[in-house]
A and B are shown apart, each in its own frame.
Chain A
Amino acid sequence: MSAPQFSKARLTEIEALVKRYPHAQSALLPVLHLAQEDFGHLSMEVQQLVADTLGVRLMAVREVVTFYTMFREQPCGKYLMEVCTNPGCMLNGANEVLRHTCDKLGVKVGGTTPDGLFTVAEVECAGACGGAPVVQINGVYHEKVDAAHMDKVIEDTRSGEGAGA
């Protein structure tokens, strides 16, 4: 497999990003977000690419990737469902939503379905407690979620994927 590369358009975007800061390393988090968008997860090769692109040490990249929850070193399902179970959500049924979602998909918390479609994760406070319980699906906030909503999302996603295949 050849080494991962950023597209020309991405490199232009990164160049513009770097100019917004006094030093290139400040662009590390934004560039890692872009890299994760492009490559799905941050493999060691992708981390090396980011280090080379910004001119920072690989260890500086490693330290950041391993510190922040949103950066993933391993692939996850095509649809990442992140269920918040902190107080606001917990008091309004988040644990039941989490359990139901896992049972429906036949996975444990943190697990991915065998078809690679769904990953279910438990996350820390999403900052949307007014809409508890909250589930982020590929970064989109779903609020006041219940088991029926999760069923519908899962079924709609499956049929959408089936139709597209």
Chain B
Amino acid sequence: MIPSDPSKVTAICFDNVDVPNMRKLEVAREQGAYAFLPTVLKEFTSEKIIDEVKTSNIRGRGGAGFPTGLKWSFVPRNTGKPTYLLCNADEGEPGTFKDRDIMRFDPHLLVEGMIMAGFALDVHDAYIYIRGEFVHEANVLNEAIAEAYAANLLGDNILGTDFSMDLTVHRGAGAYVCGEETALIESLEGKAGRPRFKPPFPAVEGFYGCPTVVNNVETLSTIPAILEFGGKWHASIGVPNSTGMKLFSVSGHVNKPGNYEVPMGTTLRTLIEKHAGGLQHGTVPKVVIPGGSSTPWLLAEHYDVPMTYDDIMEAGSFLGSGAVIVMDETADLLALTARLAHFYTHESCGQCTPCREGTGWMERILKRIQNGQGQPGDIEVLKDAAYHMSGRTICALAEGAGAPVLSLIKHFPELLEAGIVEKAA
């Protein structure tokens, strides 16, 4: 059970993640699932819910960190069109694997959060867009949703109120770019997942041109606690501009890779040493990618950085999705960068020229350097490509592709120089 004293909170999304059979409605109910839902549906207004979420100061947990309450407040009312709620469960950023654990271990938490969000936004059709590879997780969600329908928690006149909402699990089919919210919407419309120009933003014109809210799994799973204990309660966990608990997916060269839920502001060192079992080799990491593969690298000097949106930005990177990839002295950073370059080439949707061409250029150059066949000027070409890919495309994939390359050039240029063949004099 989550304590009402915010200073005693140790978990929100993962509070019941270890309870056996938590995926079953009966077990979830024993732990308090849906207990507060009738109060929300019968006593809360839409305005009150959005206010509480605003007060909570929760920022979107999918990577962009946009304030959730503000996003919800952008949804126009009485447009004559339906409003849709989409849960982004496309979890594809290399290093990120937190949403998977919520969905497979505590699916009712997400379902309850979606019912509350749907009620606040006057939604009657909600979808969970889950990456296609998560077959097991989709099945778990479908079973949980079927139980929720049978218990009148979904469908018509939920718990005897006027509120009705359907919830559908929709599997993607293998495309990283569909984690970008407008690509996700295109994909849910049965098309290739190519991001759309913004504006218009999905809140105004999203799924089939209707107002649409897209929220991450972790964000929506935090809503039940925010509404039960209040926005102020949530805002007093963590630090002022990065409130609440956060799931960090720690992977790479640590002894206990996994997901750890800690208060925002916990230091990187604590996360790695206390939670993730410390490094496999040595005492200080060589490189840490703090927020998924698309975020710039941190070095040993940043080991004591507090994990907050602002502190990580000050250190030169982004908190992103909270995917912490740790590398010790044994890491082959050139090989890793070349592998990531392949990832971005493969995942570029191809509609913007700088991204479609630039990702391929980066991959080919890095591979030839890796093979000792680099040519003089290659580092400049890599920099140039990253520059021209940044801010000149519809979505952020291209900029993300440049992050590891620019980090390598900035911090470890000797690794690239070693693979460049000097022209004979």
Q: Interface of A with B (CB < 8 Å)?
A: 20-30, 32-33, 56, 60, 63-64, 67-71, 85-88, 90-92, 124-132, 136, 139-141
Contact = CB atoms under 8 A, between A and B. Distances in A.
B311 interface: no
Contacts of A141: 136
Q: Which 4 A-B pairs have the closest CB atoms?
A: A69-B174, A68-B173, A28-B190, A25-B190
A126 B133 contact: yes
A132 B343 CA distance: 17
B196 to A, nearest CB: 15
A91 B331 contact: yes
Contact of A87 (B168, B176, B289): B289
A161 to B, nearest CB: 22
Contacts of A24: 190
Interface string B163-179: 00010101111111000
Contact of B133 (A27, A71, A131, A136): A136
B325 interface: yes
A20 B166 contact: yes
Contacts of A139: 133, 135
Given A25-B189, A26-B190, A88-B257, A129 B94 contact: yes
B64 interface: no
B235 to A, nearest CB: 29
B192 A129 contact: no
Contact of B251 (A28, A85, A88): A88
Given A88-B94, A88-B257, A90-B335, A129 B249 contact: yes
B132 A67 contact: no
Given A29-B172, A86-B339, A132 B135 contact: no
A125 B344 CA distance: 11
Nearest to B327: A91
A127 B131 contact: yes
Contacts of B208: 22-23
B173 A56 contact: no
A86 B346 CA distance: 12
B175 A23 contact: no
B172 A68 contact: yes
Contacts of A124: 92, 94, 174, 176, 343, 346-347
Interface string B268-289: 0000000000000000000001
Contacts of A92: 252-253, 257
A132 B191 contact: no
B356 interface: no
Nearest to B193: A67
Given A124-B347, A125-B343, A87 B94 contact: yes
Interface stretch (B2-10, B43-51, B95-103, B373-381): B95-103
B151 interface: no
A54 to B, nearest CB: 8
B95 A129 contact: yes
24 contacts: A20-B125, A22-B82, A25-B189, A25-B190, A28-B191, A30-B170, A30-B171, A67-B175, A68-B173, A70-B173, A71-B174, A87-B251, A87-B340, A88-B94, A88-B325, A90-B336, A124-B174, A125-B176, A127-B100, A129-B94, A129-B96, A130-B249, A130-B257, A140-B136
